[in-house]
């Protein structure tokens, strides 16, 4: 048995892949290298990556600027503990994030992953109200069709029906769920869209530590795009009822929607913001939870400390690459590229509207979605995409793409043509 087949067999025998059964392991595509927007398989096939490695690799792969940042930092130190120690990559990155995000956000807590950044946000909100002498404010309000991660605190804020975590319902803390925003991104506003949320806020605000939601784009909960006015209304209700607002920008941050942060569409500033995924350009796992001075001072009253401390918090290697990734983004024509991608996604996916099995087609920024009427067979559909030289990973009823911002028009057109062919076949 040659090494390629040995590796494939070892993968099937021992490696547990995400959202998969070990009894029926998926046939995983072996990737041996990546460059630009292409992944290269062990069989020598090149696949255009339509997923940006789960939305993170916004600059594509093997980028010389990010490679150099990693090389330069690893020669100094790859990691040191952050308890009682600080270092330039973390301080420089924190300063950069404060400058980029809405002005009230002044404090940065580094974490390992997006899910953990949500856990930190939950702790911040609960500890804030403890510090303010209101320990009864320890529940959360969110909206259905949301997704915030796979750890326990984050799971409790995901849609209890569609959030992939129904097996854990009995052990999760119970929170409050308003109906998912019914207003599409570009539809005229009607106050009826906010009524369910408003009623819950008015009835439960004395128990609520915070509202947690994904601004403008609900990601893994359904790839739904909703009106900025909904977010503005949520912010006004939070302020009126003295409830914190947590913006989960893990998937939307760093330009994915066409704005640097999705909150910018609504012109609002959250009390706490979660960042991850594209933070390092897909090179390293790193996340951050930002808070206002109001929140940090409330937590710190009477000697209070934030009770969280990841071992690899503020990993210097990840922080150095993240700072390089952000500079690379800001120094380039990211806004023009994302707009270009949006327009080509809209035109390229438009033929899907005529297919009997398609329920909806939509695009916002560098996000394109074909929503089918029935769930797709992931294994079969994934094989179709690979056979046609494209890497797309559907879920549920959704065939969607979030390509790297550097993708060329030709590659993007090939990507959308392939999605159209596959959707037509279903």
Scanning 241-333, the segments in alpha helix (DSSP H) are 263-266, 293-300, 316-331
DSSP tag of 59: T
The torsion angles phi and psi of 241, rounded to 5 degrees, stand at -110, 10
Strands 244-248 and 208-213: parallel
Annotated active-site residue in 277, 397, 400, 411: 277
139-143 and 176-178 as β-strands: parallel, antiparallel, unpaired?
parallel
Side-chain-facing half-sphere of 399: CA atoms under 13 Å? 36
Active site residue 147: yes
Catalytic residue among 112, 150, 159, 248: 248
248 is a catalytic site residue: yes
Q: Report which of 160, 184, 156 is spatially closest to residue 172, judged by C-alpha positions.
A: 156
Q: In whole angstroms, what is the distance from residue 278 CA to residue 285 CA?
A: 9
Residue 19 known to be catalytic: yes
Distances (CA, A) of 320 to 100, 110, 176, 260, 324: 17, 13, 39, 20, 6
Torsion, CA 193, CA 199, CA 201, CA 207, rounded to 10: -150
Let me know if 400 is a catalytic residue: no
Q: Cβ contacts of residue 197 below 8 Å, gap of 6+?
A: 141, 143, 178, 179, 233, 234, 237
Which member of 2, 13, 19, 191 is catalytic?
Answer: 19
* Closest CA relative to residue 89, chosen from 321, 327, 316: 316
Using CA atoms, how far apart are residues 416 and 407, in angstroms rounded to an integer? 12
Give how far Cα 288 sits from Cα of 23, 96, 175, 248, 313, Å. 36, 12, 24, 11, 9
- Which residue bears the tokens 């601004």? 215
Choice among 128, 147, 230, 265 that is catalytic: 147
Question: Which residues does the annotation mark as catalytic?
Answer: 19, 147, 248, 277
């Amino acid at each position: 048995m040659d090494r390629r087949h040995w590796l494939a067999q070892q993968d099937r025998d021992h490696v547990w892949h995400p959202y998969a059964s070990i009894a029926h392991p998926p046939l995983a595509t072996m990737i041996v290298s990546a460059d630009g927007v292409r992944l290269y398989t062990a069989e020598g096939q090149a696949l255009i990556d339509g997923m940006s490695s789960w939305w993170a690799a916004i600059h594509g792969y093997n980028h010389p600027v990010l490679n150099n940042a990693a090389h330069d930092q690893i020669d100094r130190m790859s990691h040191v503990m952050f308890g009682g120690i600080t270092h330039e990559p973390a301080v420089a990155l924190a300063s950069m994030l404060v400058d980029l995000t809405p002005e009230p956000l002044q404090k940065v807590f580094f974490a390992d992953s997006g899910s953990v950044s949500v856990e930190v946000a939950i702790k911040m909100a609960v500890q804030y109200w403890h510090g303010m002498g209101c320990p009864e404010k320890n529940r959360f309000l969110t909206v259905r069709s949301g997704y915030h991660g796979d750890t326990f605190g984050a799971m409790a804020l995901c849609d209890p029906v569609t959030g992939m975590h129904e097996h854990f319902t009995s052990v999760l803390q119970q929170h409050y769920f308003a109906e998912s925003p019914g207003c599409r991104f570009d539809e005229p506003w009607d106050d009826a869209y906010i009524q369910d949320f408003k009623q819950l806020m008015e009835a439960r605000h004395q128990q609520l530590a915070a509202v947690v939601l994904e601004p403008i784009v609900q990601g893994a909960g359904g790839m739904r795009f909703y009106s900025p006015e909904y977010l503005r209304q949520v912010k006004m209700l939070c302020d009126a009822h003295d409830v914190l607002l947590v913006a989960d920008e893990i998937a939307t941050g760093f330009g994915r929607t066409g704005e640097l942060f999705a909150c910018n569409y609504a012109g609002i500033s959250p009390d706490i913001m979660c960042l991850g995924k594209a933070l390092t350009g897909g090179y390293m796992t790193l996340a951050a939870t930002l808070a206002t001075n109001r929140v940090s001072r409330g937590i710190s009253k009477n000697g209070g400390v934030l009770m969280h401390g990841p071992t690899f918090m503020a990993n210097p290697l990840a922080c150095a690459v993240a700072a390089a990734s952000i500079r690379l983004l800001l120094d380039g024509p990211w806004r023009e590229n994302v707009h270009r991608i949006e327009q080509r996604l809209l035109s390229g996916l438009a033929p899907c509207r005529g297919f009997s099995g398609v329920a909806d087609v939509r695009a916002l920024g560098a996000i394109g979605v074909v929503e089918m009427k029935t769930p797709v067979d992931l294994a079969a559909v994934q094989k179709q995409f690979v056979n046609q030289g494209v890497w797309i990973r559907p879920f549920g009823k959704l065939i969607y793409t979030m390509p790297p911002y550097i993708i060329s028009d030709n590659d993007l057109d090939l990507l959308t043509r392939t999605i159209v062919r596959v959707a037509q076949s279903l």
